């Protein structure tokens, strides 16, 4: 039995289906990384997959909301979004200054042709999923 309970809103699947095929593959890869990371983090026992602002979003009891999306106005990129008032993205910039491209204090951005550094991104996702338990740690425990 999977110790992680995942609740998925039916509307989430429809959003993934609306992405262009090449984008959908990338978005599903981000989703897979979030779900894998949630399963690997002992503190995470429940994960809600829902829509916030029309974007696939992931919520946990001790975490900060993580959103993923691709936008038509920037068709060559997609992103993982974090709460802009948290320490998450500023900390990721300090820990991984050259590993990711960032959008202000709110996102890690990827080009459609770019390979995702999965291990490092999973560390960032883990910090987001457990944010309220790690926000007091130096560099969020990364």
Q: In this prediction, what percent of the chain has a pLDDT beyond 70?
A: 99
CB atoms within 10 A of CB 22: 12
Q: How confident is the model at residue 3 (pLDDT cuts 50, 70, 90)?
A: confident
Q: How confident is the model at residue 14 (pLDDT cuts 50, 70, 90)?
A: very high
d(CA 51, CA 8): 9
In this prediction, residue 1 carries a pLDDT of: 44
Domain assignments of the chain as residue spans, ordered by start: 5-141
CATH T-level assignment (fold) for domain 5-141: 3.90.1150
**What are the pLDDT digits (tens) for 54-96?**
999 999 999 999 999 999 999 999 999 999 999 999 999 999 9
What Å distances lie between residue 11 and 7, 57, 127, CA to CA?
12, 11, 26
Q: How confident is the model at residue 2 (pLDDT cuts 50, 70, 90)?
A: low
Which residues on neighbouring strands pair with residue 56, listed in sequence order?
A: 51
């Amino acid at each position: 039995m999977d110790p992680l309970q995942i609740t998925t809103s039916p509307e989430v699947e429809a959003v993934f289906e609306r992405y262009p095929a090449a984008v959908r593959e990338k978005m599903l890869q981000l989703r897979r990384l979030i779900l894998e990371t949630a399963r690997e983090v002992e503190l995470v026992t429940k994960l809600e997959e829902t829509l916030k602002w029309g974007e696939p979003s992931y919520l946990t009891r001790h975490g900060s909301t993580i959103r993923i999306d691709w936008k038509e106005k920037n068709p060559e990129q997609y992103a993982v979004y974090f709460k802009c008032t948290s320490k998450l993205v500023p900390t990721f910039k300090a820990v991984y200054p050259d590993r990711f491209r960032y959008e202000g204090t709110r996102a890690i951005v990827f080009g459609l042709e770019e390979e995702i550094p999965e291990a490092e991104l999973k560390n960032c996702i883990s910090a987001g999923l457990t944010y309220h338990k790690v926000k007091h740690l130096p560099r969020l425990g990364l």
